[in-house]
Amino acid sequence: MERVKEISRVRELVGAAREDGGRIGFVPTMGYLHEGHLSLVRILKERTDFVVMSIFVNKLQFNDLNDFDSYPKDIQRDMELAEKAGVDLLFLPDDSEMYSNNLTVVDVHEITENLCGAHRPGHFQGVFTVVSKLFNIVQPDVAVFGQKDIQQVSGIKKMVTDLNFPIEIKVAPIVREKDGLAMSSRNKHLSSEERNNALALNRSLHRAKKMLMSGERDSSIIIEAMKEEISSVTHGDMDYISVVSFPDLKDVDRIDGDSVIALAVYFGDTRLIDNMLIEFTGDSLNCII
């Protein structure tokens, strides 16, 4: 595995891999790798010939600078995990390599108006700007993102279409701990009590699934039941529990077509997100948690 800090070197190495006829796969990350990131690498290993991973904690997407300062880092461990997973090129730019007096930002409207977009001003603009830059640097054929950040994926898909990036975007399932907690670099910040309480996220999604499977379609009734589940372990600090259409992410009163139930809740100072994708085939539905 090559480790590279310079954009020009990434271009050389990716160019050489492409000249050999290889398809380029790309996983952008902010590091502190876990099984969720490694599952994305595995998806690309099956579909492409040369896998690039970036690790860059992108200040532009942090609306809260304390969150940026405390974002977990362990670059040594990350390098070992990336190499073991079969990453061919690890791009580790520093801030000055990525941003020098940037005056350009990328925004995707509408899709970013609710869910996390309503609670983290500027966050998605930071994400889409850095992802556009990384796409232009790496020029992959395929890039993969996790379902857990469903609003990020929806926005990136729309951005790729609108801005004509010749890149296939793959969406990977949420990877969970054995007890159901969705994997996240932020889980490291949870005390053992908070971690235990955070299992209510997954429980609330399963409760929603059960209701859907027994025919309930009213969003507000499902949201109420989920709120009850969450408030049994934490007082307040629910950023949102929402039912939205997929992929355009508009609030829906009734679940009659492809939708997402998404939630963001604080456990102590740690904000966790989770979601369930609901896919309809005719009248039957499939819930992907």
Show which residues are catalytic: 37
Residue found by looking up tokens 């990977």 in the block: 172
| Position among 30, 171, 230, 255 found at the interface with ligand PAF (CB under 6 A) | 30
In three-state secondary structure terms, 107 is coil
Q: Whole-number minimum distance, CB 145 to ligand PAF, in Å?
A: 7
Task: Using CB atoms within 10 Å of the CB of residue 82, give its burial: 0 to 12 exposed, 13 to 18 middle, 19+ buried.
Answer: buried
Element (DSSP H or E) covering residue 251: none
In the complex, minimum distance from the CB of residue 131 to ligand PAF, in angstroms, rounded to a whole number: 6
259 burial via Cβ count (<10 Å: 0-12, 13-18, 19+): buried
Which range in 101-109, 126-134, 226-234, 261-269 contacts ligand PAF by CB under 6 A? 126-134
Report the site for ligand PAF in 131-190 (rule: CB under 6 A).
131, 149, 152
Kindly report the three-state secondary structure assignment for every residue of 152-210. HHHHHHHHHHHCCCCCEEEEECCCECCCCCECCHHHHHCCHHHHHHHHHHHHHHHHHHH
Q: Which stretch binds ligand PAF (CB under 6 A): 15-23, 26-34, 104-112, 158-166?
A: 26-34
Nearer to ligand PAF, 7 or 225 (CB): 7
Q: Report in angstroms how near the CB of residue 227 gets to ligand PAF at its nearest.
A: 27
Q: Judging by DSSP bridges, how do beta strands 284-288 and 270-281 pair with one another?
A: antiparallel
Rounded Cα–Cα distance for residues 83 and 85 (Å): 5
Total residues binding ligand PAF (CB under 6 A): 10
Q: Is 98 or 285 the residue whose CB approaches ligand PAF more closely?
A: 98
Segment near ligand PAF (CB under 6 A); pick from 22-30, 210-218, 227-235, 267-275: 22-30
Which of the ranges 27-35, 70-78, 82-90, 252-260 carries the binding residues for ligand PAF, by CB under 6 A?
A: 27-35
With 0-12 / 13-18 / 19 or more C-beta atoms within 10 angstroms meaning exposed / middle / buried, residue 179 is: exposed
**Binding residue for ligand PAF (CB under 6 A) from 26, 41, 44, 58?**
58
Give whichever of 123 and 209 is closer to ligand PAF, judged by the CB atom: 123
Region near ligand PAF per CB under 6 A, out of 24-32, 65-73, 100-108, 157-165: 24-32
- Rounded CA gap, 31 and 19, in Å? 29
Least separation in angstroms between residue 57's CB and ligand PAF is 8
Residue with tokens 């507000």: 220
Task: Note every long-range contact of 64-71, with CB atoms under 8 Å and residues 24 or more positions apart, other chains counting.
Answer: 70/189, 71/30, 71/32, 71/185
Could you give the CA distance from residue 13 to residue 221 in angstroms, rounded to a whole number? 53
Q: Are 14 and 88 in contact (CB under 8 A)?
A: no
Binder of ligand PAF out of 28, 117, 140, 155 (CB under 6 A)? 28
Closest CB to ligand PAF among residues 81, 127: 127
CA distance 188 to 195: 9
Q: Does 264 bind ligand PAF (CB under 6 A)?
A: no
Binding-site member from 4, 10, 29, 201 for ligand PAF (CB under 6 A): 29
Judged by the rule CB under 6 A, the positions of this chain that interact with ligand PAF are 28-30, 58, 61, 127, 130-131, 149, 152
